[in-house]
Chain A
Amino acid sequence: MMYAIRSRKQQFFDRNIVFLMILPAIVIVAALIVIPMVYSFYLSLTNLNLLHPSRARFVGFKNYLKLLEDSIFWRSLLNTIIFMGIAVNVEFLLGLFLAQLIFKTTRGQGIVRTAIMAPMMFAPVLVGFQFKWFFNDQVGLVNNLIYFFTGEYHLIPWLINYPLNLFALLAAEIWMSTPFMVIILLAGLVSLPVEPFEAAAVDGASPWQQFRYITLPLIGPFTYIAMVIRSLDLGRAYDLVRIMTAGGPANRSEMIWTYTFRLAITDNKFGLGTAMSFITVAISFAFVIYLFRQLARSRQEVY
C-alpha cells in the first residue's frame, strides 16, 4: 500500500498547502503595501525635512500633536467633511432622480445613458480649468450670465469668498461625478425584480409608496457601494481643488489633500505631511468601516 505511508515532508506539505499557495501573494502585498506603510508611519514619527534629510531624527508623536494644534489642519478637515457631505448627498439625490428618469424612458434610453456619462470622460484637471473660468469674477461665465439677466455688473468673487468658493468647487465636483451615481443606481434599478411592484400595484400602493417602500430598500446595497466609492474619491479630492483655488486664498478652501501636499512637498516637511496623511487614512478607514456596516445592514433588511 504505497499511499498509506507518507513521508513527514509530504505531511507538512499537505497540511500547509493552503498557506504555501498564498505565500507569493502575501510576499507581494507585504513588499508593496505593508512595508512601505510601516516605513512611512516611521517617517511620520520623524522631523524629516526634504531640505535637510541628514537632520532627520525621531520625534515620537510630535507631528501629530502639532497638527491637532494647527488651525489650518482643522479648517481643511472641516472643509473636506462639508465638501464630502454635501457632494455625496447631492450627487446621490440627483443621481437617483436622473436614474429614475432614464429608467422610465421607453425610447432612446441608450442614447441618454451614453450622453449622461460624458462628464465622466473628462480629466478632473480639465474640469477644474473649465469651472475656474466659469467662476472667474471678471471674465467668467457665471458672472456674465448674471449680468445678462440682471443688466447690472456684479463682480461676485466666486473663488475668493468663503463659502462661495466651496460652492464653486461643489458645482464642479457634482457636475463631474453625478453620472457615476446615475450609472450605478440605474444598474440597480434595472436589476430589480418586477414581482414586488406588480404585487404592490395590485394592493393599490401609490407610485410614491412603491418608490419609498420597495425601490429604495431594494437598491440600498447599490446606494452604499456607490456612496463608499464616491466618498473615498472625494476624500482625496485634490486635482480639482488644486486647479480651481489651490486651497486658497488665505487657506480658505484648503482640503486635507491640498494641505497634505503643501506640508509634505511644497514646505518640505515630509514627516509632518506623512503624519497628516496617516490621520487622513485613519479617518477614511473609519468612514469605510461605518459605511460597510451600513451596507451589511441594508442587505439583511432586504434579503
Chain B
Amino acid sequence: MKKFTWFMIIVFGMLVLSGLSLAIAEELKLGRFDGVTIKACLIGGGDYEKIYEKFFPKFEELTGAKVEIVYKGNGFDIDKKMKLDFAAGTVDYDVCWNHTSFFSQYFDFVEPLEKYFTEEELADFSPRIMQFAWKDGHLWFIPRHADISALYYRTDIFNDPEIRKKFKEKYGYDLRPPETWEEFKEIALFLNNPPEIYGTQFAGKEEALSGRFWDILMAYGGKILDENYKPAFNGPEGIKAATLLRDLYQAGAMPPGMVNFLWDDVAANWANGTIAMYTEWYGWYSYFQNPEASKVAGKFDLARQPKGDAGIHSGWAGAHAFSVTKFSKNKEAAAALVKYITSYEPQLFEGQIGYIPVRNSVFETLKKEAENSPDPLAKKRLELMQLQINEDFTPPPIVPEWIPISNILYPTLQAIMLGDKTVEEGLNEAAKKVEELMAEAGYYD
C-alpha cells in the first residue's frame, strides 16, 4: 500500500512538472522546433553567461530545438564582428546580441520582430525602453537588462557635521546630494581635497566621456543631433555642459590622469575612497558594497542623477538586448528563443544576480525579496532604479553613427578639458566633423 502511494505521488509529481513546463511553453507560445539548431552570437564574460547556462537547456527541453553559441565576446568585439560579418555576408547565426547604443547600425541586417510578439507579451517591459526599441514602425530588439547611472555619494563626508557647517556658511544651503548640475559643481569644488579625495571624476575617454557629456547635455535640454540629423551639441546647452567638465577638471576637482581613465579605473578610485561623489552605473554596486574589495562599503548612498535647467534628470542609459538576424533560416525558432530568454523567469534570475531588470513585474518581485535583505540600501536601490528606468532612461542618438560621433566628440572634449582648445572652438570643430560624417553617410541627400 505504502509503495503504491509513493508511486502515485511520483507519477502525480511528474505530471504536474510536465504540465508546468507545458504551461510555460503554452503561456509563451513558443512552439516546437524539433531538430532545429539555433545558432547565437552573444555577449560573453562573467555574469552575462549565467543565463545561457541555466536557461538554454530549459529552452531546448521545452521546444526540442538545440541552441549553439557560435561566438561570445564583449560588446565592442561583438559589434566589430557583426559589422564585418554583415558587410561580408558571412553571418552564420540566428540570434544575435543587440544594444540600444548600437542597434541602429544593424537595421539592414536584423529581422523586425513585431510579428512574433503579441501586445500583451510586450506590455510588461519598461515602456520608456520599448519606445526606443521601435523605429520606423518596426520592433528591432527585445531588451534583456538595462544599465543607467545613479549619483553615488559618500555619506561619511556628506553627514560630517564640521563639513556641513562650513558648507552652509559658504553656500547658504544644507549640504545634500546635488539636485542640479550647478550644485554638483559647487559641491565637487567644495569637497575637493586632492590627493586624498577628489570632488568628483568620470571615465575620461572613449564613449565613456562622450556619454557623460550627453548626460549633462540632455539635462540642459540639449541634443547631440537635431531632427534633421545636424549636429546640435555646439549650442548654448552644449557649451554649458562642456564648460562644466572643463571647469571641474581645470580646478583640479578631477584627477589629471582622468582623461586616460576608463570605467574600471574610476570604479577602483571610488572603492579606494578617493572620490567624494560621482555618477556611476548600478552594475558596480555589489563590488562597492563588498568590504573586502572596497573601502567605502557601507559608507555611501545613492540618489537620482542631477538635473539641468531644462528640468530633465540625466539618464544616459543602455540596454542589452537580443535580435534575430535577417540571414536566419529558422526565424520562428530564433524568435522563440528570444521570447523565452527575455521572459519573466530568466529575467528574474538576471535581476537576482544583479542586473537591472527591464520588466516591471521583475522589479516588483525583487523589491519584495529586498525587504528581508541585510543591505539597508537594497530596497531603495531598486526603487531608484525602477524610477530611472521608467522615467530617465535615454539612449544616445539612435543613428548608426553614434560611436563614430562619439569618436569625434571625446578627443574634442579631452582637448577642451586639457585647455588645448576653447569650449566654443572645440565644439564647433567637432560639429563640423560630425556634419561631414553625416553628409558622407547620406543623411542630407
Chain A residues near B (Cβ < 8 Å): 47, 49-53, 55, 136-139, 153, 155, 157, 159-160, 245-246, 248-251, 262, 265-269
A49 near B260: Cβ-Cβ < 8 Å: no
B157 at the interface (CB under 8 A from A): no
B400 near A137: Cβ-Cβ < 8 Å: no
Q: How far is it, in angstroms, between the C-alpha of A267 and the C-alpha of B259 when the chains are bound?
A: 20
B411 near A251: Cβ-Cβ < 8 Å: yes
Q: How far is the CB of A128 from chain B (nearest CB, A)?
A: 12
Known contacts: A160-B257, A249-B418, A268-B404. The answer to whether A52 contacts B441 by CB under 8 A is yes
Which of B79-87, B349-357, B371-379 has 4 or more CB atoms under 8 Å from chain A?
B79-87
B255 near A250: Cβ-Cβ < 8 Å: no
Partner of A249, one of B205, B255, B440: B205
B274 near A249: Cβ-Cβ < 8 Å: no
Q: How far is it, in angstroms, between the C-alpha of A249 and the C-alpha of B421 when the chains are bound?
A: 13
B180 at the interface (CB under 8 A from A): no
Chain B residues near A (Cβ < 8 Å): 80, 83-84, 86-87, 105, 194-195, 204-206, 255-257, 259-260, 269, 272, 274, 400-401, 403-404, 407, 411-412, 414-415, 418, 420, 440-442
Interchain residue pairs A-B with the least CB separation, the first 8: A249-B259, A157-B256, A250-B415, A250-B414, A137-B257, A249-B414, A53-B87, A51-B400
Known contacts: A138-B195, A138-B274, A155-B195. The answer to whether A250 contacts B411 by CB under 8 A is yes
Which A residues touch B80, using CB under 8 A?
A: 265
Q: List 12 A-B contacts (CB under 8 A).
A: A50-B87, A51-B441, A52-B442, A155-B255, A155-B256, A248-B414, A249-B414, A249-B418, A250-B411, A250-B414, A250-B415, A267-B404
Q: How far is the CB of B63 from chain A (nearest CB, A)?
A: 34
Which B residues touch A262, using CB under 8 A?
A: 407
Partner of B257, one of A157, A251, A266: A157
Q: How far is it, in angstroms, between the C-alpha of A137 and the C-alpha of B418 when the chains are bound?
A: 15
Closest to B260 in A: A159
Which A residues touch B206, using CB under 8 A?
A: 246
Which B residues touch A49, using CB under 8 A?
A: 440-441
- A to B contact number (C-beta, < 8 Å): 77
The SS class assigned to the B binding surface is: helix
Q: How far is the CB of A139 from chain B (nearest CB, A)?
A: 8
B194 near A155: Cβ-Cβ < 8 Å: yes
Q: How far is it, in angstroms, between the C-alpha of A53 and the C-alpha of B87 when the chains are bound?
A: 6
Q: How far is it, in angstroms, between the C-alpha of A247 and the C-alpha of B260 when the chains are bound?
A: 10
Which B residues touch A249, using CB under 8 A?
A: 204-205, 259-260, 411, 414-415, 418
Q: How far is the CB of B91 from chain A (nearest CB, A)?
A: 13
Which A residues touch B260, using CB under 8 A?
A: 159-160, 245-246, 248-249
Which B residues touch A139, using CB under 8 A?
A: 272
Which B residues touch A265, using CB under 8 A?
A: 80
Q: How far is it, in angstroms, between the C-alpha of A272 and the C-alpha of B404 when the chains are bound?
A: 14
B407 near A266: Cβ-Cβ < 8 Å: yes
Closest to A254 in B: B411
Closest to A53 in B: B87
Q: How far is the CB of A62 from chain B (nearest CB, A)?
A: 11
Partner of B407, one of A155, A245, A267: A267
Which B residues touch A136, using CB under 8 A?
A: 257
B255 near A137: Cβ-Cβ < 8 Å: yes
Closest to A165 in B: B260
Q: How far is it, in angstroms, between the C-alpha of A248 and the C-alpha of B417 when the chains are bound?
A: 13
Closest to B400 in A: A51
Q: How far is it, in angstroms, between the C-alpha of A51 and the C-alpha of B440 when the chains are bound?
A: 11
A160 near B259: Cβ-Cβ < 8 Å: yes
Q: How far is the CB of B197 from chain A (nearest CB, A)?
A: 11
Which A residues touch B204, using CB under 8 A?
A: 249
B257 near A250: Cβ-Cβ < 8 Å: no
Q: How far is it, in angstroms, between the C-alpha of A163 and the C-alpha of B354 when the chains are bound?
A: 43
Q: How far is the CB of A140 from chain B (nearest CB, A)?
A: 9
A137 near B256: Cβ-Cβ < 8 Å: yes
Q: How far is the CB of B210 from chain A (nearest CB, A)?
A: 12
Q: How far is it, in angstroms, between the C-alpha of A246 and the C-alpha of B76 when the chains are bound?
A: 15
Q: How far is the CB of A248 from chain B (nearest CB, A)?
A: 5
Q: How far is it, in angstroms, between the C-alpha of A176 and the C-alpha of B200 when the chains are bound?
A: 36
A159 near B257: Cβ-Cβ < 8 Å: yes
B259 near A250: Cβ-Cβ < 8 Å: yes
Q: How far is it, in angstroms, between the C-alpha of A256 and the C-alpha of B418 when the chains are bound?
A: 23
Closest to A48 in B: B87
A160 near B256: Cβ-Cβ < 8 Å: yes
| Most-contacted residue by chain B among A47, A160, A250 (CB, 10 A) | A250
Partner of B442, one of A55, A153, A160, A248: A55
| Most-contacted residue by chain A among B206, B257, B414 (CB, 10 A) | B257
Which B residues touch A47, using CB under 8 A?
A: 440
| Most-contacted residue by chain B among A51, A157, A267 (CB, 10 A) | A51
| Most-contacted residue by chain A among B84, B260, B403, B441 (CB, 10 A) | B260
Q: How far is it, in angstroms, between the C-alpha of A136 and the C-alpha of B257 when the chains are bound?
A: 7
Known contacts: A52-B442, A138-B257, A250-B259. The answer to whether A160 contacts B195 by CB under 8 A is no
| Most-contacted residue by chain B among A136, A248, A265 (CB, 10 A) | A248
Which A residues touch B274, using CB under 8 A?
A: 138
Closest to A270 in B: B87
Partner of A51, one of B195, B401, B418: B401
Q: How far is the CB of B237 from chain A (nearest CB, A)?
A: 22
Closest to A137 in B: B257
A160 near B83: Cβ-Cβ < 8 Å: no
Which B residues touch A53, using CB under 8 A?
A: 86-87
Which A residues touch B420, using CB under 8 A?
A: 250
A50 near B411: Cβ-Cβ < 8 Å: no
Which B residues touch A137, using CB under 8 A?
A: 255-257
Q: How far is it, in angstroms, between the C-alpha of A136 and the C-alpha of B269 when the chains are bound?
A: 12
Q: How far is the CB of B340 from chain A (nearest CB, A)?
A: 31
| Most-contacted residue by chain A among B80, B256, B400 (CB, 10 A) | B256
Which B residues touch A153, using CB under 8 A?
A: 195
B269 near A138: Cβ-Cβ < 8 Å: yes
Q: How far is it, in angstroms, between the C-alpha of A160 and the C-alpha of B420 when the chains are bound?
A: 12
Closest to A265 in B: B80
Which B residues touch A268, using CB under 8 A?
A: 83, 404
Q: How far is the CB of B277 from chain A (nearest CB, A)?
A: 18
Partner of B83, one of A50, A155, A245: A50
